[in-house]
Amino acid sequence: MIPSAFPPKEEIARLSARMLLEIGAVHLNGEQPFTLASGLPSPTYVDCRKLISYPRIRSTLMDFLTVTVMRDAGFEAFDNIAGGETAGIPFAALVAERMALPMTYVRKKPKGYGRNARIEGQMTEGQRVLLVEDLTTDGGSKLSFVDAIRDTGATCAHTAVIFYYGIFPETIKTLGDHGVSLHHLCTWWDVLAEAKSSGAFSAETLREVESFLHAPRKWQEARQQG
């Protein structure tokens, strides 16, 4: 069912951050940093995969993502919703259901047997495809998925995520240079604001996190040298 309510972007961001905090999807630790997929340290980590286990929050966020995409990209802008393996697959299915559109998913690499496909499901030449993922950091991981979609003859000019780090200035340019616009619900800045008001983390932890968010590369370099 296509959502009919359109909360302001600021309210969507605030509520999305609050929901991630409520289910414990947000982890903050300045003393023992997490290691990101890039191998770099970070005092922050968000696990959007947890959302699939919370039906009320999951449903609300998927409504938010659907209306955000329709408002920003257009109500008739897509013919196919593609999820990126693996975290994007359930969210793509939920968005596709709301938009009454076909759903596909994109493998990280060819499966190595049978058709050796990267696209699972039916994607055809000329279709306008929305790539759905759980989150994006610097945007780089999206490019391979976009290229696989375009290799079918379809187009992919938009990607939608629940969570966007919002701290790496190159992200929008990286995607933009590849002809892709980013749509998201909330960022680390939204989470930080909610975390401060909730009192769920110590003031010392929040100061360390804020230091990282203002200068992530500098923070990471200092920890690696240490």
Q: Where does residue 64 rank: exposed (0-12), middle (13-18), buried (19+ CB within 10 A)?
A: buried
Q: Where does residue 12 rank: exposed (0-12), middle (13-18), buried (19+ CB within 10 A)?
A: buried
On whether the CB atoms of residues 26 and 203 are closer than 8 A, the answer is: no
User: Mean per-residue pLDDT for 41-61?
Assistant: 96
Summarised one tens digit per residue, pLDDT across range 126-146 is 999 999 999 998 888 899 999
Whole-angstrom distance, CA of residue 47 vs CA of residue 153: 33
User: Mean per-residue pLDDT for 2-31?
Assistant: 91
On whether the CB atoms of residues 54 and 38 are closer than 8 A, the answer is: no
Question: For residue 48, what is the DSSP state?
Answer: G
Question: For residue 107, what is the DSSP state?
Answer: -
On whether the CB atoms of residues 133 and 41 are closer than 8 A, the answer is: no
Q: Is the pLDDT of residue 41 over 90?
A: no
Whole-angstrom distance, CA of residue 71 vs CA of residue 164: 18
* pLDDT confidence of residue 5: 66
Q: Compare 3 and 74 and report the one with higher pLDDT.
A: 74
Maximum separation of any 2 CA atoms in the chain, in Å: 54
**Fold of the domain spanning 9-221:** Rossmann fold (3.40.50)
Tokens of 111: 């499966």
On whether the CB atoms of residues 132 and 83 are closer than 8 A, the answer is: yes
* pLDDT confidence of residue 69: 96
On whether the CB atoms of residues 72 and 183 are closer than 8 A, the answer is: yes
* pLDDT confidence of residue 167: 93
Summarised one tens digit per residue, pLDDT across range 166-194 is 998 899 999 999 999 999 999 999 999 99
Tokens of 48: 């959007």
* pLDDT confidence of residue 225: 61
Q: Compare 24 and 1 and report the one with higher pLDDT.
A: 24
User: Mean per-residue pLDDT for 37-65?
Assistant: 93
Contact partners, residue 133, CB within 8 Å, separation at least 6: 83, 84, 87, 88, 91, 142, 145, 159, 160, 161
* pLDDT confidence of residue 113: 64
Summarised one tens digit per residue, pLDDT across range 84-121 is 999 999 999 999 999 999 999 999 988 766 566 899 99
* pLDDT confidence of residue 9: 95
Mean pLDDT of the chain: 92
pLDDT band (50, 70, 90) for residue 83: very high
Which residues partner with 45 through β-bridges? 27
Around Cβ 129, how many Cβ atoms within 10 Å? 27
User: Mean per-residue pLDDT for 40-66?
Assistant: 95
pTM for the whole thing? 0.93
* pLDDT confidence of residue 4: 65
* pLDDT confidence of residue 1: 64
Triad 61, 64, 65: Cα angle to 5° = 90
